[in-house]
Structure formats: C-alpha cells, structure tokens
Amino acid sequence: MAKLNMVQAINLALREEMARDDRVVVMGEDVGRDGGVFRVTEGLREHFGAERVIDTPLSESGIVGAATGMAAYGLRPVAEIQFMGFIYSALDQLSAHGARLRTRSRGRYTCPLVVRTPYGAGIKAPELHEESSEAIFCHIPGIKVVAPSGPYTAKGLMLAALRDPDPVLYLEPTRLYRLIREEVPEGEYLTELGRARLARTGDNVTVIAWGSMLERVLKAVEPYSADVIDLLTLSPFDAETVLASVRKTGRAVIVHEAIKTCGLGAEIAATIAEDAILHLRAPVLRVTAPDVPVPLGKLIDHYLPTAEQIRAALDEVLQY
C-alpha cells in the first residue's frame, strides 16, 4: 500500500470519485492549471478536463454561490476557498443559502456541496492565511464541518463528504499537509461523518482534539494513560464517543487551535456538563489559542497551544 501525505490522499479521493461519478466537478481559484496553491488538485485538470476542473475568477461568494446552484441542479461540486481567511465573503452564501436550501424549498432542492479550504496556523504565511474559524460554521445548522488529522482520514472523510446529501465544509490542516505520511489504500473506504475516532486509549483522562492539534496532542500525552479522541467531524460532533470516554476516565481536556471564547471546545464542555457531570472528577479544561487575532509568523508559536500547555492541563486535572 502506498504511503501518502495528506495532499496526495485528498487528491486521490477526488480523482477516484471523479472517475466514478461524473457529477463531481472541482472549482476554485487556481485549482486547474496550477493544481491549487498547495497542489491538492494537481493533475486533475489534465485528467478530467477544464470543464470539470474549473479555474474561476477571484470571487469567493461567486464560487460558493455558483456551486450551490450547481449542486441544486444535480451536480456534486467541490468548491475550493484558497485559504480559510478568505471564506468570510462566502459566509452569506453558505449560511443563508447552502445550509437552508433544503429547508426553504421543503426538500425540493438540496445542496450536496463540498467546500474545501486549507485552515490553521503554523506555516509562517501572511495575514489571514492561518485562520481557524471552524466554530463559526459549526454554529450553522444544515452544514457539516469535518477536519481530517492525517492522510488516511483525509481520504475517507473526503469520500464520505462527496457522498453526503448536504453541504460539508472540509477543513484541511495546512501544517499537516506534508508532515505526516500514512498508508492510504486505493479504492473506496468511507470515514463515516459524525463519528469520532479513538486515536489512543487510556484510563485516566480524555483528550479531545481534531485537525492539526491531534498530532501535537498525541506527542504530548505519551507519558499519560489517556483516551485521545480525534473528533474528525466537528459538526455534528460525536457526543456519544466523547461521553462514553469521559464516563470512563472522569476527566476531560479539550485542545483546539482556535481562540477560546465561543470555540468548539465550549460546546463540547457544555455537552459533558449536561450529560456526564456526575462522572467528572475534575473541571473540564480547554487548551486553546488566546482571544486575539491570529498573529503573524514571529509570534505564532506563542499563539498555538504547545505540548507543555497540554501537559500542564493534564497534570491539573489529574491532580485535582
């Protein structure tokens, strides 16, 4: 089996699904001739032609809005937003339309759309190239939000997202794009949406993370006996798996690279409080970025949660 990085794994998923299903089209800025600024769509235009791999004008709202129309018409568009920091002008389309088309048309029209976007910090790129604003999208009913943590889940989640009948926001952690290589099988396997994965098992504490933070968490927890939950789908998140683990360990630490206030960690912590508070032996802690705009490269290491901060939180709940 081939060892692939995440860029190659997502590319493979798109390639296989495009070969299988001619409704799948890829569109966005620089996705065609250039193969995407991270090369995720490399070679697709050569293989499937410019009609299915569409270089668009620089128009985020136009891209997502047009993709919504294509999806409603019966295609399966995969729209790329070049960086998550540029998705905000398409928020109107996603939130007011993509997410509600099914509701507004009483099920007559649907929006089986995948919006891919690189997200997250740690690549020393300019302003707005390192955003992690998943919580904004998790706050929109009607959209699913997923974030793979490695090449294997990247492919499985992409295939599942492409088969999903509703809009899926697919977040690609840029820091991991080429950092991790894993065995990625050819052919079909779906990573079920709405299901988390136990990335490691232990007894004393549950650590919940996703995307690029998972790699950091796995390193940080080595000396601990911890359940590590790789959330994979951020909305709707797999409360069942989280609660089962917390009931077992009695402690929970949530790690995310987005800012703390109103981050997804708050929703997870509230769910634990609602449904498993009597099992808790310590407060639920969050290790997150501080409540400031993402800084430029020189300060990014002070912004992102570190292994030390993760361990400090683990020690705190264990010694509580």
Ligand X SMILES: Cc1ncc(C[n+]2csc(CCOP(=O)(O)OP(=O)(O)O)c2C)c(N)n1
> Using the rule CB under 8 A, is 57 a contact of another protein?
yes
> Using the rule CB under 6 A, is 117 a contact of ligand X?
no
Indicate which single residue of 295, 306, 311, 316 sits in contact with another protein (rule: CB under 8 A). 295
How are beta strands 226-230 and 197-200 bridged, if at all?
antiparallel
> Using the rule CB under 6 A, is 130 a contact of ligand X?
no
In the beta sheet, which residues pair with residue 182? Answer: 4
Least distance from ligand X to the Cβ atom of residue 258, Å: 20
CA distance 20 to 76: 12
Return the range that interacts with another protein (CB under 8 A); candidates 124-132, 138-146, 206-214, 223-231: 124-132
Environment class of 38 (CB within 10 Å of its CB; exposed 0-12, middle 13-18, buried 19+): buried
> Using the rule CB under 8 A, is 165 a contact of another protein?
no
What does each C-alpha distance from 120 to 70, 125, 180, 301 come to in angstroms? 28, 10, 16, 13
Indicate which single residue of 15, 76, 129, 175 sits in contact with another protein (rule: CB under 8 A). 129
Contact positions with ligand X (CB under 6 A) in 20-79: 29, 58, 60
The SS3 assignment for 28 reads: strand
Sign, Cα dihedral of 127, 128, 134, 140: positive
**Residue 120 CA, distance from chain mean position:** 10
Closest C-alpha to 80, from 19, 191, 175, 169: 169
Residue entry with tokens 């600024």: 37
Contact positions with another protein (CB under 8 A) in 251-270: 260-261
For the chain, list the strands marked E by DSSP.
3-4, 24-28, 53-55, 76-80, 114-119, 144-146, 168-173, 182-183, 197-200, 205-209, 226-230, 233-235, 252-259, 285-289
Return the range that interacts with another protein (CB under 8 A); candidates 81-89, 110-118, 179-187, 236-244: 81-89
> Using the rule CB under 6 A, is 93 a contact of ligand X?
no
Contact positions with another protein (CB under 8 A) in 173-202: none
The residues annotated as belonging to the active site are 129
Nearer to another protein, 62 or 202 (CB): 62
Return the range that interacts with another protein (CB under 8 A); candidates 159-167, 223-231, 273-281, 295-303: 295-303
Contact 42, 11 (CB under 8 A): yes
Least distance from ligand X to the Cβ atom of residue 39, Å: 15
> Using the rule CB under 6 A, is 82 a contact of ligand X?
yes
Which residues bind to ligand X, rule: CB under 6 A? 29, 58, 60, 82, 86
Which residues bind to another protein, rule: CB under 8 A? 29-30, 32-35, 37, 55-62, 85-86, 89, 124-129, 260-261, 290-293, 295-300, 302-303
